[in-house]
Amino acid sequence: EAGVAQSPRYKIIEKRQSVAFWCNPISGHATLYWYQQILGQGPKLLIQFQNNGVVDDSQLPKDRFSAERLKGVDSTLKIQPAKLEDSAVYLCASSARGTSGGWGETQYFGPGTRLLVL
């Protein structure tokens, strides 16, 4: 079974530029998550999708970040314009059923996209 795929793996941009990350979850997984992991910290949830609907985006900086999962499969996370403090690893994860699968359901993570904003 293929894992969660993410691209690009690395990205360097200048502040005020825009950037987009792509994620393809494990086939058949209903729930997709985007996390931000700043160096030296644990991952922080940015947004959670159940199929193509948003379940939780309370920690997404909506003035500059946006995400979509139009067909309930792959997803794109965009930052526009980027700030220095956006430098981080952006992790995508998926789970089979989300909350309907129970609170102990495992989330499977992709390798992440490392973003450096100069």
Partner 1 sequence: AQSVTQLGSHVSVSEGALVLLRCNYSSSVPPYLFWYVQYPNQGLQLLLKYTSAATLVKGINGFEAEFKKSETSFHLTKPSAHMSDAAEYFCAVRAQGAQKLVFGQGTRLTINP
Applying CB under 8 A, among 63, 67, 102, 117 the residue interacting with partner 1 is 102
Of the candidate spans 14-22, 37-45, 60-68, 73-81, the one that interacts with partner 1 by CB under 8 A turns out to be 37-45
Helix (H, G, I), strand (E, B) or coil at 26: coil
Residues 6 or more apart in contact with residue 70 via CB below 8 angstroms: 52
The CB-of-111 to partner 1 minimum distance in angstroms stands at 5
d(CA 54, CA 21): 18
Residues facing residue 56 across a β-bridge:
48
- The distance from CA 106 to its chain's CA centroid, rounded to whole angstroms, is 16
Quick one: 82 or 91, whose CB is closer to partner 1? 91
Q: Which residues make up the interface to partner 1 (CB under 8 A)?
A: 4, 40-45, 48, 55-56, 91, 93, 99, 102-104, 106-112, 114
